[in-house]
Chains A and B, each alone.
Chain A
């Protein structure tokens, strides 16, 4: 079974601060995919990144960066120089093997104050 744990329920920062969201996963599959989604108040889940289990390279996209470490089963997400528009709920998710569904964590609510 797939399991994703996001230990941080809520994070509040002041604009321009960096914020790191933790994600720890459990899976027995050797091939799996990890995801991050953003859910603004409108409710729609916005895809941010997908990473497969064989690619441990860190990735940077603008102010977003991701750190994937198989040794600790973690896939952490950092927002650099946060902005008010980054305020949302962020979900980490996992799929693997022949299980094509997404298993989501409970989410972390990020509030960026001006």
Chain B
């Protein structure tokens, strides 16, 4: 049973560009959350998707957007990249919405470097 898979594993982008990160949830999971982890810090919640809708959002600008597909996979898009967007982006999946959504399994992350 595959766990949470993210692609790509590493990415280098230039300031001002746009990037799309992808996540496939663990089998049987229908809720996907995204977190940003800057170097030396704890993960920060970006947003959560359930039934193809954004259900909860953290304190991130509108440059960060997402999507969930009918097969529960998800994308994170970041526009107008800034140097400060360099971080490890973690995807987490969980079964159902609500407190059960905190029983989260995390992927290995995508390391984004903005130059």
Question: B22-53 vs A: 1/0 string, CB under 8 Å?
Answer: 00000000000101000011111100100000
Stretch of B12-20, B65-73, B78-86, B99-107 lying at the A interface = B99-107
A95–B99 CB distance below 8 A: yes
Interface check B21, CB cutoff 8 A = no
Interface check B76, CB cutoff 8 A = no
Stretch of A12-20, A60-68, A99-107 lying at the B interface = A99-107
**Nearest CB of chain A from residue B21's CB, rounded to whole Å:** 14
Q: How far is the CA of A25 from the CA of B43 in the complex (A)?
A: 16
**Nearest CB of chain B from residue A38's CB, rounded to whole Å:** 11
**B42 contact from A43, A50, A99, A104, Cβ within 8 A:** A104
Size category, B interface: 20 to 34
For A45, the chain B residues whose CB sits under 8 A away are 43, 90, 92, 106
A91–B42 CB distance below 8 A: yes
Closest to B3 in A: A44
**Nearest CB of chain B from residue A50's CB, rounded to whole Å:** 7
Chain A contact residues, majority secondary structure: strand
Size category, A interface: 20 to 34
For A57, the chain B residues whose CB sits under 8 A away are none
Q: With A33-B99, A35-B102, A45-B90 in contact, is A103–B45 under 8 Å at CB?
A: yes
Of the A-B pairs whose beta carbons lie under 8 Å apart in the complex, a sample of 11, sorted by A's number, is: A33-B99, A35-B102, A43-B88, A43-B109, A45-B90, A47-B105, A100-B101, A101-B33, A101-B56, A104-B43, A106-B42
Which A residues fall within an 8 A CB radius of B? 4, 33, 35, 37, 42-47, 50, 91, 93, 95, 99-107
Which B residues fall within an 8 A CB radius of A? 33, 35, 40-45, 48, 55-56, 58, 88, 90, 92, 97-99, 101-109, 111
Known: A102-B43, A105-B42, A106-B42. 8 other contacts (CB 8 A): A4-B42, A35-B102, A44-B109, A45-B43, A93-B42, A101-B45, A101-B48, A106-B40
